[in-house]
């Protein structure tokens, strides 16, 4: 019988990969918007990490400035659901999220103009290579000027690697920033155009596994 290491000697464990959820957010919207018409927007939260992301909080800062904005009206959520990596295939056991049960939504008007979405149940857990897609609609403020470019920033600002029953679960927090935005700019004949930016979380915190 052969022992490696020999009894009483120090051993070296194989390389260890520390799993952590890592979220990347993309914001999409209509090519153009006009006063008095609805514009539909999508927030796509993709988990590129190696473990589940629980209780995900997404912050969407809507535009509000001298040339107009989308701040006066409370956005209306049309749907929220976790999909497979293709963004189309439903994930078994994860149906459409129910407002007030599966997710919590709040909106703060001027001067903040912030929409906050927080998932609450296992139906909203984003597994590795899964996407949480939230769709909502809103309208332009009445003072929006023709030819204005409106910039809008969205990103995941908090999530966890386990459910709330786990006292030692690891939190991950980010500050909403435009440092690494995903951008979509309209270039059409309609005078009013908007720009969408989404922050991406690229550096998840790491902790060593507990003994």
Task: Give 143-173 pLDDT, tens digit per residue.
Answer: 988 888 888 888 999 999 999 999 999 999 9
What is the rounded distance in angstroms from the CA atom of residue 192 to the CA atom of residue 210? 54
- Least confident range of 119-123, 134-138, 170-174, 179-183: 179-183
Residue 60: which pLDDT band, with cuts at 50, 70 and 90?
A: very high
Q: What is the 3-state secondary structure (H, E, C) of 58-97?
A: EEEECCEECCEECCCCCCEEEEEEEEECCCCCECCCCCCC
Handedness of CA 96, 98, 102, 108 (dihedral sign): positive
Domain ranges of the chain: 23-198
What is the rounded distance in angstroms from the CA atom of residue 67 to the CA atom of residue 56? 33
Are 39 and 73 in contact, with CB atoms under 8 Å apart?
A: no
What is the rounded distance in angstroms from the CA atom of residue 119 to the CA atom of residue 32? 30
Q: How confident is the model over 131-142, as pLDDT tens digits? A: 999 999 999 999
What is the mean predicted confidence (pLDDT) over 168-182?
Answer: 76
Note the pLDDT of residue 183.
38
pLDDT at 180 over 80: no
Burial of 82 by CB count in 10 Å (0-12 exposed, 13-18 middle, 19+ buried)? Answer: buried
User: Is 211 or 83 the better-scoring residue by pLDDT?
Assistant: 83
Note the pLDDT of residue 114.
95
What is residue 13's DSSP assignment?
P
User: Is 96 or 15 the better-scoring residue by pLDDT?
Assistant: 96
Which pTM was predicted? Answer: 0.80
For the domain bounded by 23-198, which CATH number is listed? 2.60.40
Residue 176: which pLDDT band, with cuts at 50, 70 and 90?
A: confident
- Least confident range of 2-16, 83-97, 104-118: 2-16
What is the mean predicted confidence (pLDDT) over 177-196?
Answer: 41
């Amino acid at each position: 019988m052969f022992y490696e290491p020999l009894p009483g000697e120090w051993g070296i464990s194989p390389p260890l990969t520390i799993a952590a959820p890592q979220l990347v957010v993309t914001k999409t919207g209509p090519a153009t918007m006009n006063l008095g018409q609805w514009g539909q927007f999508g927030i796509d939260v993709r988990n590129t990490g190696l473990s589940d992301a629980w209780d995900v909080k997404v912050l969407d800062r809507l535009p509000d400035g001298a040339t107009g904005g989308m701040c006066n009206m409370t956005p209306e959520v049309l749907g929220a659901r976790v999909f497979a990596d293709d963004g189309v295939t439903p994930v078994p056991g994860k149906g459409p999220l129910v407002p007030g049960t599966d997710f919590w939504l709040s909106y703060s008007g001027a001067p903040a103009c912030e929409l906050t979405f927080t998932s609450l149940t296992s139906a909203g857990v984003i597994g590795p290579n899964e996407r949480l897609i939230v769709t909502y609609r809103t309208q332009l403020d009445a003072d929006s000027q023709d030819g204005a470019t409106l910039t809008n920033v969205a990103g995941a600002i908090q999530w966890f690697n386990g459910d709330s029953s786990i006292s030692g679960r690891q939190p991950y927090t980010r500050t909403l920033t435009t440092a690494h935005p995903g951008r979509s700019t309209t270039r059409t004949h309609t005078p009013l155009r908007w720009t969408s930016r989404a922050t991406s979380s690229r550096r998840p915190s790491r902790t060593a596994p507990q003994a």
